[in-house]
């Protein structure tokens, strides 16, 4: 019994070390495979109690486990849709065959990295046939509210190459310097004009035509008062805002805005410029906010906020010296542009970049987290499937909760340490040879036992 148990233990040792050699071989073979997670072999002894005075070898058995929670180093690439998860979490992917079947029930697998590029239909696919999945954004770039404990809201990421996009203008900073000398007694009183471009809801270029008319005093001195008219070219030059602006001329605040009020219109619908004209009690334009220095006018595309500066600030509109000049005219909005590239940020927002400089969010890529990553079922192409051992999943925003973030222009290298694997390879070879020696010794002892009969 004791000799035969020794033989069985030696055989178990050979089988166990052969299995360990297989895991080492797999690890070394995938040392250059992006996203590969190394496999580890653990040995466990078996004990057989045979009573006092004798001992039977129980042998050894093994368990293998893939260390999915161990990450490899990140390698920089030149492709913006090469992505890697830095920290905890997985990006959701599905198979290319699921797209071919034209079903809306896409199976969700998990991956920590992938080199994704658009295929003929615009889907982001890696060389292994895995399709990136995410939540599709609304037309304005916002992400709808999706359930976080199910994959029902996820869809394959599809990017149309020939996309056009425009962004309407919603805010304009109207910084100009008005000549103080034009409000003095005896000046010409000529109006000063300025045209500011804006973009409507269809990306078409329109303009706000702004006129500054000085109010002349009836006697010597300066009024420091102007009437600003704003007309919209998209409405045939309709007056959409008229304001009476008075500037300060005191020490320390000279040239800054003192007051801004809506200018009353006369019977012709024009601002009153000469005292004595009968007012109609009609005004056009939004109220001036003394805190922000802004007011709203209603253009053809909708409301546009105009910023002329707060009273006393002197940072946007001023009245100094004798020159009329724009000083700080800025606006948001862009004309129609062509998509040039896509990029993904650390929070998982995949955006299209257009040649006009705007970006628009197309998808949000969540990160999937499970209680036991090492309990996931390993599949081909460095992907994983949920299992009973992994626990239930939850979809997090990248960079939020326990998950890490998503890195573009990067891939995760293999988690294999070749030097460590070669060291284990030497140990395994020695252990295998030793177990073979045990079998040889047992064979010789059994031969001696059969020779007793002679």
Question: Per the structure block, which two tokens stand in for 130?
Answer: 């895995």
DSSP characters over 49-90: ---TT--B---EEEEEEE-TT----EEE-S-TTEEEEESS-B
- Give the pLDDT score at 108: 93
What are the beta bridge partners of residue 330? Answer: 173
Question: In this predicted model, what pLDDT tens digit does every residue of 407-421 receive, in sequence order?
Answer: 999 999 999 999 999
Q: What is the distance between the alpha carbons of residues 119 and 157, in angstroms, rounded to a whole number?
A: 11
Q: What is the distance between the alpha carbons of residues 84 and 404, in angstroms, rounded to a whole number?
A: 10
Cα torsion 139, 306, 334, 204: sign: positive
Q: Are strands 171-178 and 318-319 parallel, antiparallel or unpaired?
A: parallel
Extents of the domains making up the chain: 2-67+415-451, 74-165+337-412, 169-332
Q: Give the pLDDT mean for 237-246.
A: 94
Q: What is the distance between the alpha carbons of residues 313 and 175, in angstroms, rounded to a whole number?
A: 12
Nearest to 211 by CA among 188, 236, 240, 186: 240
Q: Are strands 302-307 and 171-178 parallel, antiparallel or unpaired?
A: parallel
* Res 161 pLDDT > 90: no
Model confidence pTM above 0.85: no
Residue 86's pLDDT band (boundaries 50, 70, 90)? very high
Residue 305's pLDDT band (boundaries 50, 70, 90)? very high
Question: In this predicted model, what pLDDT tens digit does every residue of 342-383 receive, in sequence order?
Answer: 999 999 999 988 887 788 899 999 999 999 999 999 999 999
In CATH terms, the fold of domain 169-332 is: Tick-borne Encephalitis virus Glycoprotein; domain 1 (2.60.98)
Nearest to 302 by CA among 374, 395, 202: 202
Q: What is the distance between the alpha carbons of residues 37 and 114, in angstroms, rounded to a whole number?
A: 14
Q: Are strands 225-232 and 117-118 parallel, antiparallel or unpaired?
A: unpaired
Question: In this predicted model, what pLDDT tens digit does every residue of 41-82 receive, in sequence order?
Answer: 998 888 877 666 677 777 888 888 999 999 999 999 999 999
Mean of the per-residue pLDDT values for the chain?
Answer: 90
**Look-up of token digits 């994704």:** 116
| Cβ atoms < 10 Å from Cβ of 64 | 13
């Amino acid at each position: 019994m004791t000799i035969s148990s020794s033989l069985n233990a030696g055989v178990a040792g050979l089988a166990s070390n052969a299995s360990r050699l297989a895991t080492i071989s797999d690890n070394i073979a995938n040392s250059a495979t992006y996203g590969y997670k190394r496999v580890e072999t653990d040995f466990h002894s078996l004990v057989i109690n045979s009573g006092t005075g004798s001992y039977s070898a129980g042998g050894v058995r093994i368990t293998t486990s893939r260390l999915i929670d161990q990450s490899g180093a990140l390698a920089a690439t030149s492709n913006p849709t090469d992505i890697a998860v830095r920290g905890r979490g997985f990006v959701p992917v599905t198979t290319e065959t699921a797209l071919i079947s034209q079903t809306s029930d896409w199976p969700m697998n998990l991956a920590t990295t992938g080199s994704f590029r658009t295929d003929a239909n615009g889907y982001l696919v890696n060389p292994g046939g895995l399709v990136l999945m995410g939540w599709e954004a609304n037309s304005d770039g916002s992400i709808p509210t999706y359930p976080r404990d199910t994959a029902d809201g996820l869809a394959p990421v599809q990017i149309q190459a020939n996309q056009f996009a425009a962004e309407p203008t919603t805010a304009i900073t109207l910084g100009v310097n008005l000549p103080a000398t034009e409000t003095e007694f005896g000046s010409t009183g000529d109006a000063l004009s300025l045209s500011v471009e804006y973009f409507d809801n269809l990306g078409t270029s329109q303009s706000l035509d702004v006129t500054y008319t000085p109010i002349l005093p009836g006697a010597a001195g300066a009024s420091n008062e102007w009437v600003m008219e704003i007309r919209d070219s998209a409405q045939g030059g309709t007056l959409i805002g008229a304001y009476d602006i008075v500037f300060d001329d005191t020490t320390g605040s000279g040239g800054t805005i003192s007051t801004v009020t809506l200018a009353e219109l006369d019977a012709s619908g024009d601002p009153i410029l000469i005292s004595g004209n009968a007012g109609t009690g009609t005004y056009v334009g939004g109220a001036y906010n003394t805190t922000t220095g802004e007011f709203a006018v209603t253009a053809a595309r909708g409301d546009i906020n105009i910023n002329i500066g707060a009273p006393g600030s002197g940072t946007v509109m001023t009245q100094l010296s004798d020159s009329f000049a724009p000083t700080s005219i800025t606006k948001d909005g862009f004309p129609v542009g062509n998509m040039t590239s896509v990029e993904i940020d650390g929070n998982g927002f995949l955006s299209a970049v257009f040649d006009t400089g705007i970006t628009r969010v197309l998808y949000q890529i969540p990160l999937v987290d499970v209680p036991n990553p090492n309990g996931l079922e390993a599949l081909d192409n460095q992907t994983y499937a949920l299992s009973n051992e992994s626990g239930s999943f939850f979809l997090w925003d990248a960079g939020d909760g326990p998950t890490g973030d998503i890195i573009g222009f990067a891939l995760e290298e293999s988690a294999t340490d070749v030097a460590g694997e070669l060291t284990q390879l030497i140990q395994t070879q020695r252990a295998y040879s030793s177990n073979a020696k045990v079998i040889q010794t047992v064979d010789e002892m059994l031969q001696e036992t059969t020779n007793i009969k002679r």
